[in-house]
Amino acid sequence: MMGIGFPELMIILVIIMIIFGAGKLPEIGSAFGKSIKNFKTSMKEAEEEGELATAEQPEAVIENAEETKAVPEIADSSTEPAPDSEKQS
């Protein structure tokens, strides 16, 4: 299998230095580092929000179950036969 070895990495770094110049590399590295830091912070916040949402969910399920029990069952009139009315002679 082919992998990126040390010689390939050196060639890539030389090409990057030619494209951006030695002066811009620290700025690019700093911006890249800040981007990674912001991404990690966002991921951590999303995980915390997800944990809070799952922790609150069982309470909502219990409340819905209690509300369901409190609602009386209503018979569907379309499935029950109509009561017999007195026959007229």
Average pLDDT over every residue of 68-78: 58
Residues 58 and 66: their CA atoms lie apart, in Å, by 12
Residues 7 and 13: their CA atoms lie apart, in Å, by 10
Average pLDDT over every residue of 8-21: 89
End-to-end CA distance of the chain: 98
25, 33 contact by CB (below 8 A):
no
Average pLDDT over every residue of 41-67: 73
Residues 79 and 65: their CA atoms lie apart, in Å, by 26
Confidence of residue 61 (pLDDT cuts 50, 70, 90): low
pLDDT value of residue 41: 95
Confidence of residue 31 (pLDDT cuts 50, 70, 90): very high
Q: Tell me the pTM.
A: 0.42
**Domain range list for the chain:** 22-68
Residues 88 and 84: their CA atoms lie apart, in Å, by 12
